[in-house]
Amino acid sequence: LSLRRVVIAHPVVAEDADASTADVLDQVRLVEAGVAQLGHACDIVAVSGGRVWEHAARLAGALVFNLLEAPPGRPQFHAWATGALELLGVPFTGSSAAALWLTTDKLATRALLREGGLPIAEGGRLDVRRPSVLERVPAPWLVKPAWEDASVGLEGKPVCDTEADVLARARALALRFPAQPLLVEHFLPGREFNVSLLAGREGVEALPVAEIAFVDFPADMPALVGYEAKWTSGSFEETHTVRRFPGAEDAALLARLRTLALAASELCGVAGYARVDFRLDEDGAPRILEVNSNPCLAPDAGFIAAATQAGVSQAEVVRRILAAAHEPPGAR
Distance in Å, CB of 192 to ligand ATP, minimum: 5
3-state SS of 132-153?
A: CHHHHCCCCEEEEECCCCCCCC
Print burial letters for 97-127: b (CB count within 10 Å at least 16), e (below 16). bebbbbbbbbebbbebbeeeebebbebbebe
Q: Residue 69 binds what, of ligand ATP, Mg ion, none (CB under 5 to 8 Å, by partner type)? A: none
Binding track over 145-164 against ligand ATP, x by CB under 6 A:
----xxx--x----------
Q: Report the distance separating Cα 181 and Cα 166, nearest Å.
A: 15
Whose Cβ is closer to ligand ATP: residue 86's or residue 277's? 277
Asked whether 82 and 26 are in contact (CB, 8 A), the reply is no
3-state SS of 158-192?
A: CEECCHHHHHHHHHHHHHHCCCCCEEEEECCCCCE
Whose Cβ is closer to ligand ATP: residue 78's or residue 279's? 279
3-state class (DSSP) for residue 292: strand
Q: Report the distance separating Cα 71 and Cα 240, nearest Å.
A: 27
Distance in Å, CB of 150 to ligand ATP, minimum: 4
62 binds ligand ATP (CB under 6 A): no
Q: Report the distance separating Cα 126 and Cα 169, nearest Å.
A: 11
Phi and psi torsions of 12, nearest 5°: -60, 135
Asked whether 148 and 177 are in contact (CB, 8 A), the reply is yes
Distance in Å, CB of 301 to ligand ATP, minimum: 9
277 binds ligand ATP (CB under 6 A): yes
Question: Which residues in the 219-278 window bind Mg ion by CB under 5 A?
Answer: 277
292 binds ligand ATP (CB under 6 A): yes
23 binds Mg ion (CB under 5 A): no
DSSP class of 155: -
Question: Using CB under 6 A, which of 28, 47, 113, 225 touches ligand ATP?
Answer: 225
> How far from each other are the two terminal CA atoms of the chain, in whole angstroms?
14
Question: Which residues in the 107-126 window bind ligand ATP by CB under 6 A?
Answer: 121
188 binds ligand ATP (CB under 6 A): yes
Whose Cβ is closer to ligand ATP: residue 42's or residue 294's? 294
Whose Cβ is closer to Mg ion: residue 211's or residue 277's? 277
Distance in Å, CB of 100 to ligand ATP, minimum: 12
228 binds ligand ATP (CB under 6 A): no
Burial-class residue 330 by CB neighbours within 10 Å (0-12, 13-18, 19+). exposed
Distance in Å, CB of 297 to Mg ion, minimum: 15
Distance in Å, CB of 290 to ligand ATP, minimum: 4
The residue count of the chain comes to 332
297 binds ligand ATP (CB under 6 A): no
Whose Cβ is closer to ligand ATP: residue 139's or residue 315's? 139
Pick from 100, 4, 95, 9: nearest CA to 51: 9
Distance in Å, CB of 225 to Mg ion, minimum: 7
Residues near 83 by Cβ (< 8 Å), separated by ≥ 6?
97
290 binds ligand ATP (CB under 6 A): yes
Q: Which residues bind Mg ion (CB under 5 A)?
A: 277
Q: Which residues bind ligand ATP (CB under 6 A)?
A: 121, 142, 149-151, 154, 185, 187-188, 192, 224-225, 277, 279, 289-290, 292
